[in-house]
A and B are shown apart, each in its own frame.
Chain A
Amino acid sequence: MTPEQAMLLSDDEKLAYFYRVRVKHPRVTTVRDDLETMMLPGSGTDIALLIGPTGAGKTTLGESLVEEIIKAHKSELVNDLSFIPAIYISAPASGEKRFSWRIFYIELGRLLKEPLMDKKQETRLQDGRMSVKSVTAGSTVAGLRMAIEDALRFRRTLLVVVDEVVHLIRGANENDRLVHMDALKALTELKGVNLTLALIGSYDLYELMTLSGQFARRCAIVHFQRYLSGTGNDADKKAFRNSLGTLQEYFPLKGIPDLTEMSDELQYACVGCVGILKDTLQRMLTFAVRNKGRWTDKCLFKALLTEGQIARILEETLKGEQNIAKAIFGSGSLNAESRTSEKVACR
């Protein structure tokens, strides 16, 4: 549907249309290239931690990455009816103190089109004897896990994007986190499976990298950085302006002034994040639609984040950026002087 056709839609349809609009900007391309490199067989990286500030567009990137992989395997999908190349899953918040692997596996099974998830039986091997634990009150977590492992094997899944990984680590102590990460890591080490896990989350995820050396070796951090403002960041400013321009092209409302003229102000108001910009424009459209489709400046001002919200996001982002500065994918160096970690260890 062209933007001109979208102008003729009803109010609800306009909102739905703009909600579906996603813009591919330079940061997305860079990050996606990094992720695709990690997915290559034998790349040595099984887990990619996609870290970035809230509203940077991480979720959108995760979804579009899955779509790209599906498109790339189009002919294989026709030939092999059991093939599911990539899936996107959001780690569920169970409402309990601990992360619920049961809910996670059931959701993963649904996405992998695995039947009878409530009747999975656990196979045991004890003293050279195989036996099964009969299902009485639904599947056990072990049974679900085994079923998922086999499903990943015969569905030949290449990528699992897990969003909201923060639910795994929130409220868990260090030991629990290690157990959670081991459970995820084990999925990538299955025999006959060439799987890459892409874990998406905010800067909290950096803590996972520090859990164990083994885990740090197997995973890589991909930083989804915001577009920086201020002097010396002209390329970032230009990229943000172009993203704004593209989004405005698809804005299904007439009579809007050229927003790119206030690109610098909007970049500050959105902390340089295209996701926040998209949310702002979506809210702006909602206010305009409620105003009987008439554009006023108020629509924009109402849609913007408050100073308090911006300050909070900026604070978290700056702290996170500082933390992960030396752990980002591609930031390795042979310069011994830069190895502060080694110095610390030696001391």
Chain B
Amino acid sequence: MGCQEIYELVGTDPSAVIPQRSVLASLKPLGAGTPHCESLRSYYLTLAHMHHVSPRIMAKDIIIPRLGLERFGHNFQEWNLPLFNGIGAVPEKWAELLSSLTGQAGLDDLTLTALRPYTSTKRLMIDMKRWCPLCFSEAARDGRVYGHLLWEIAAVSVCPKHGVNLVSNCICNNEDSQSNFSKVKPAKIYLPGICSSCGRPLVETSMNMTTAASQREIKRAQIVGDMLTDIERLKEGTNGIDVFLNNAVRYFAKGNATAFAKMLHIDKVSLHNWIHRTHLPSLYQIVEIALTFQCSMVDVMLGDRVAFGEITLDIQDRTQKPFRTNKRRKLSKNVVKRRLEALLTDIHPISLTSAVAKIGMGRRRLRRDYPDIERRILQRNQAYRTSKQKSMVEQRYDLFRQCAAKLMSEGIEPTTRLVGERLGGNLLIIKGKNKLACHAICEEVIRSSQEDRGRQR
């Protein structure tokens, strides 16, 4: 038959089949190995947004079943927990699973899991979203806006790159978003660099809120940033902070642990526990030790490579600012009562959470010691909120009625849908049980208009 090569048989090659692909997009984390490393939460939120699914749905349908954690009542919001980027089992499992789903290795570097043998979870991560608008601005220019792991660490309150305090409020917090009836209430969007409440870019809304940071705070942030850069060393390390402390006690206090504890402004029991590894210091305390000894945090945690002879102790401002700066000062009962009563007479009722934050006491203590005042604050706030909501709904009904009347005057018979469209789309008022009331208003407007016409005739 003499077939030439061109008449070959095709379609039988197994290499022409696409091998197993990653379930999720192979998104590259940003800033890995630098102080500006992306956090796992930011990575996860970006990934969910790339796939156009809500982070909750992604957790529910992809992550949780694969982690084997599916159970009744699971909230699927683990990615929103403060410790999501921390040192626990959750970030470790999530990072490992996301690595296998995206094909991107080393996602555990986006968490602090490498610090697990060295620090406790106490005051590790902060329970609020913070950001540097200048970093967001730079990232927006470069391509993708992302949240930094550094911003989520409680010991850091400034941006070491730009020397400004981190911002935690969007401008929308100061706006009364309910005041405008026709305003579309956006569905919540979870994306780094976007305000989840108002949906506006945080670069625009918070750029004016930046304030210069103190040098001490910048240094603190830099030292933590350096630790994130050097996090690989921690993974390989075998020693603990006990080695550093033992050597330091010997060198600086001639073996006298009590004197050394005084030097660090901590009690000797804490020092004893750290040296004997019965307790681990918090990250904040490790930062303070590193600042005192003017060495890196990794050196403190690993206890090696430290040449104590070259160290000049920075203990001057330690005397003014002891370790436990964040510990709440216990207020006397009289002062607390006076302040609480002042809150009750204030024009603007506030919530219990705000009240305890203002006074500077715990909520549990408020309940235990001042149950009456707690109840009164709660009732007052509830009454205020109910009345506010009621007036708001009334205001919306009035606007709805006006718009329906206007439509009627234009010769169009008003319907809930028409009025809704005229008022600008997604109205809360014409949803749920309020819809019936809207129907009634439309009918009332039509009836009254017909009656008017009848009278005129």
Contacts and interface: CB of A to CB of B under 8 A. Distances in A.
A81 interface: yes
Interface string B100-114: 001100000000000
A24 B52 contact: no
Contact of A242 (B7, B13, B103, B204): B7
B7 A246 contact: yes
B189 to A, nearest CB: 5
A301 interface: no
A64 B204 contact: no
A71 B15 contact: yes
Contact of B102 (A74, A82, A128, A135): A82
A80 B26 contact: yes
B200 A128 contact: yes
B335 interface: no
Contacts of B204: 128
A132 B7 contact: no
Interface stretch (B56-64, B272-280, B369-377): B56-64
A121 to B, nearest CB: 6
A243 interface: yes
B154 interface: no
A77 B24 contact: no
Given A21-B9, A130-B194, A121 B53 contact: yes
B11 interface: yes
A22 interface: yes
Nearest to A130: B199
A151 B188 CA distance: 23
Interface string B187-219: 111010010001111001000000000000000
A80 B27 CA distance: 11
Contacts of B18: 70, 77, 84-85
Contacts of A70: 15-18
A116 B1 contact: no
Contact of B61 (A1, A116, A150): A116
A129 interface: yes
A135 B52 CA distance: 11
A131 interface: yes
B11 A82 contact: no
Contact of A147 (B12, B26, B51, B201): B51
B184 A130 contact: no
A249 interface: yes
Given A129-B199, A130-B191, A26 B6 contact: yes
Contacts of A20: 11-12
Contacts of A116: 51, 53, 57-58, 61-62
A132 B54 contact: yes
B51 A126 contact: no
Interface of B is mostly: loop
Given A67-B11, A132-B189, A134-B187, A82 B52 contact: no
A171 B393 CA distance: 49
Contact of B51 (A64, A84, A150, A248): A150
Interface in A220-256: 242-243, 245-246, 248-250
A133 interface: yes
Contact of A120 (B19, B24, B53, B103): B53
A130 B17 contact: no
B253 interface: no
A22 B8 CA distance: 8
Interface residues of A, number: 58
A275 to B, nearest CB: 13
A146 B27 CA distance: 17
A260 B194 CA distance: 70
B191 to A, nearest CB: 7
B3 A133 contact: no
B50 A154 contact: yes
A103 B17 CA distance: 24
A25 interface: yes
Given A114-B51, A120-B52, A126-B184, A22 B57 contact: no
Contact of B3 (A83, A147, A242): A242
Nearest to A81: B103
B3 A115 contact: no
A316 interface: no
A126 B189 CA distance: 13
Contacts of A129: 186, 198-200
Interface in A54-79: 60, 63-64, 67-68, 70-71, 74, 77-78
A74 B18 CA distance: 9
A154 B27 contact: yes
B9 A22 contact: yes
Nearest to A114: B51
A97 B23 CA distance: 35
A249 B1 contact: yes
A120 B52 CA distance: 5
B4 interface: yes
Given A116-B53, A129-B186, A64 B6 contact: no
B327 interface: no
Contacts of A218: none
Interface string B22-39: 111111000000000000
Given A116-B53, A119-B57, A121-B53, A22 B62 contact: no
B10 interface: yes
B129 to A, nearest CB: 16
A84 B22 CA distance: 10
Given A115-B24, A128-B204, 8 more contacts: A22-B10, A22-B11, A23-B8, A130-B194, A132-B187, A143-B52, A151-B51, A246-B9
25 contacts: A64-B11, A81-B26, A82-B22, A82-B102, A113-B21, A115-B24, A116-B51, A119-B53, A123-B52, A130-B186, A130-B191, A130-B194, A130-B200, A132-B189, A135-B57, A147-B52, A150-B25, A150-B50, A151-B25, A242-B4, A245-B1, A246-B3, A246-B8, A246-B9, A248-B1
